[in-house]
């Protein structure tokens, strides 16, 4: 199975900050990488698919990049509603689908 | 619009089974695979398996093989996930999520299953 590792596990930032979250795959997954946002008590929401494509309705301050084994999710200017937990997920070699352990983004 | 509505919370004793339902609407039910993902309290997302609502074909994570059964009812556009031999570690929120090329684009609201004696 492909292992996904996110860093950092948690992050404190302020409104307006630029934030980057990293996801690393245990082997090359081309661009088969998706990002999700989850708020407390809610289901995850797809933000980015195929490493860099923005899901419909997602604000343009979110962006994704990378290929192979290293990927990043960037929020260009944090908004209050962006404080949540973010997960990466590989869709290259399935089943199984595998997720990163999550990155909790907190208000500083 | 696409909606996935799951059944309500359950409390089960160790050793029992639980069956969670996920009713789909707003799209052609048989055209999209459905995943099951769970999340233990304070933990990350764990993929359990996938079902093809058209033919009923399923694949589950190795960890759950032998304990999980995924089925569907095309007449009601509902998929089901049954987990047997429950233990305390199975306490979690269980989600169904619609597939598009292994992207999970739409999610149910989640069903809390509590396993406690």
Q: What is the pLDDT of residues B23-34, one digit of tens each?
A: 999 999 999 999
Which of B59, B104, B107, B108 to substitute to test the interface with A, most A CBs within 10 Å?
A: B104
CA distances from B58 to A41, B34, B48, B51 (A): 28, 10, 11, 4
* B80 has pLDDT over 90: yes
Question: Looking at the complex, does the CB of residue B64 fall below 8 Å from at least one CB of chain A?
Answer: no
How far out from the chain centre does Cα B71 lie? 10
Distance from CA of A26 to the nearest CA of B (A): 17
Stronger pLDDT, A108 or A72, i.e. the higher one: A72
Strand locations in chain A (E): 4-7, 10-13, 19-25, 33-38, 45-49, 53-54, 62-67, 70-75, 85-90, 98-99, 103-107
**Calpha distance A36→B25 (Å, rounded):** 22
Query: Which of B61, B103, B107 minimises the CB distance to A96?
Result: B61
Residue B42 CA to residue A13 CA, distance in Å, equals 21
Q: How far apart are the first and last CA of chain B?
A: 40
Smallest CA–CA distance from B35 into chain A, residue: A97
Count the alpha carbons within 13 Å of B71 in the hemisphere toward its beta carbon. Answer: 9
Judge: B105–A55 Cβ closer than 8 Å, yes or no: yes
β-bridge mates for residue A74, sequence order: A20, A63
Task: Look at B44 and A43 and tell me if their CB atoms are within 8 Å.
Answer: no
Strands of A26-61 (E only): list them: 33-38, 45-49, 53-54
- The whole-number pLDDT of residue A94 equals 85
Residues from chain A contacting residue B46 (CB–CB below 8 Å) = 99
B1 touches chain A (CB under 8 A): no
Mean pLDDT of all residues in chain B? Answer: 98
Return d(Cα A7, Cα A11) in angstroms, integer: 9
B45 touches chain A (CB under 8 A): yes
Q: Which of A91-100, B65-74, B90-99 has the lowest mean pLDDT?
A: A91-100
Q: Is the CB of residue B43 less than 8 Å from the CB of residue A101?
A: no
Give φ, ψ of B81 to 5 degrees.
-130, 120
Kindly tell me if the per-residue pLDDT of B81 is higher than 90.
yes
- The pLDDT assigned to A93 comes to 84
> How many CB atoms within 10 Å of residue A45?
18
Which residues in chain B have Cβ-Cβ distances shorter than 8 Å to A6?
A: none
Residues of A at the B interface, defined by Cβ within 8 angstroms: 32, 34, 36, 38, 43-46, 49, 55, 87, 89, 91, 94-102
Query: How far apart, in whole angstroms, are the C-alpha atoms of residue B102 and residue A97?
Result: 8
**B102 vs A32: CB contact, 8 Å cut-off?**
yes
pLDDT tens for A34-67 read 999 999 999 999 999 999 999 999 999 999 999 9
Asked whether the beta carbons of B109 and B94 are under 8 A apart, the reply is no
pLDDT per residue over A3-46, tens digit each?
999 999 999 999 999 999 999 999 999 999 999 999 999 999 99
pLDDT bracket for residue B19 (50, 70, 90): very high
């Amino acid at each position: 199975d492909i292992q996904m590792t996110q860093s950092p596990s948690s992050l404190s930032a302020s409104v307006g900050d630029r934030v980057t979250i990293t996801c690393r795959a245990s082997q090359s997954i081309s661009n088969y990488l998706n990002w999700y946002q989850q708020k407390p008590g809610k289901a995850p929401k797809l933000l980015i698919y195929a490493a860099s494509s923005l899901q419909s309705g997602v604000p343009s301050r979110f962006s994704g990049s990378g290929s192979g084994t290293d990927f990043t999710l960037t929020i260009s200017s944090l908004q209050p509603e962006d404080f949540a937990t973010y997960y990466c997920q590989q869709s290259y070699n399935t089943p199984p689908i595998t997720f990163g352990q999550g990155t909790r983004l907190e208000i500083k | 619009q696409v909606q996935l509505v799951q059944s309500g919370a359950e409390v089960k004793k160790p050793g029992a089974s639980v069956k969670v339902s996920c009713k789909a609407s707003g799209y052609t039910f048989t055209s999209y695979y459905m995943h099951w993902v769970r999340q233990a309290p304070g933990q990350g997302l764990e993929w359990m398996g996938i079902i093809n609502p058209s033919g009923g074909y399923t694949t589950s994570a190795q960890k759950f093989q032998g304990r999980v059964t995924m089925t569907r009812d095309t007449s009601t556009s509902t998929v089901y996930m049954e987990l047997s031999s429950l233990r305390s570690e199975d306490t979690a929120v269980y989600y169904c999520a619609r597939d598009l090329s292994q992207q999970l684009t739409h999610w149910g609201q989640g069903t809390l299953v509590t396993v406690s004696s």
